[in-house]
C-alpha cells in the first residue's frame, strides 16, 4: 500500500476531499517523523509501537574485499505490532 492508496481509502470511506485526505496523511506522517527524529517513541493503541533505539559502534567486514571496517553508532527504528494487530493478521489468513 502506498501513500496514494491511503489517501484514496480515506477519501472513499469518509467522503473527505482528496486534497484534504492527502493533507491528513501527510500531516500524520510528518508528525510521526518529527517525533521519531527527536528520539521519542510512538505508541498507537491497537496497532503497535515504533521505538527509536541506539546501536553502538561495532566492527564489521566488507564482504567484497574482506577488509575490516568500523560501523559507526546510529539510531534505528523498530516496530512491534500489538496483540490486536497480530490476532487480526492471523485471523485473516485462516
pTM check: above 0.75? yes
**What pLDDT is attached to residue 20?**
95
CA nearest to 4, candidates 28, 22, 31: 22
SS3 81: strand
pLDDT at residue 94 greater than cutoff 80:
no
Q: Are residues 29 and 62 in the same domain?
A: no
Q: Are residues 94 and 55 in the same domain?
A: yes
> What pLDDT, in 10s, does the model give residues 8-57?
999 999 989 999 999 999 999 999 999 999 999 999 999 999 999 999 99
CB atoms within 10 A of CB 43: 12
Look at the chain and report how many structural domains it folds into: 2
Q: In terms of Cα–Cα distance, which of 28, 27, 8 is closest to 16? A: 8
Residues 18, 64: one domain?
no
| Domain ranges, residue 65 | 41-94
Amino acid at each position: 500500500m502506498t501513500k496514494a492508496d491511503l489517501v484514496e481509502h480515506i477519501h472513499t470511506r469518509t467522503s473527505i476531499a482528496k486534497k484534504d485526505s492527502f493533507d491528513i496523511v501527510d500531516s500524520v506522517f510528518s508528525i510521526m517523523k518529527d517525533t521519531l527524529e527527536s528520539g521519542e517513541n510512538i505508541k498507537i493503541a491497537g496497532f503497535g509501537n515504533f521505538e527509536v533505539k541506539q546501536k553502538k559502534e561495532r566492527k564489521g567486514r566488507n564482504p567484497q574485499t574482506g577488509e575490516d571496517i568500523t560501523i559507526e553508532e546510529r539510531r534505528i527504528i523498530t516496530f512491534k505490532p500489538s496483540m490486536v494487530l497480530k490476532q487480526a493478521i492471523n485471523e485473516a489468513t485462516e
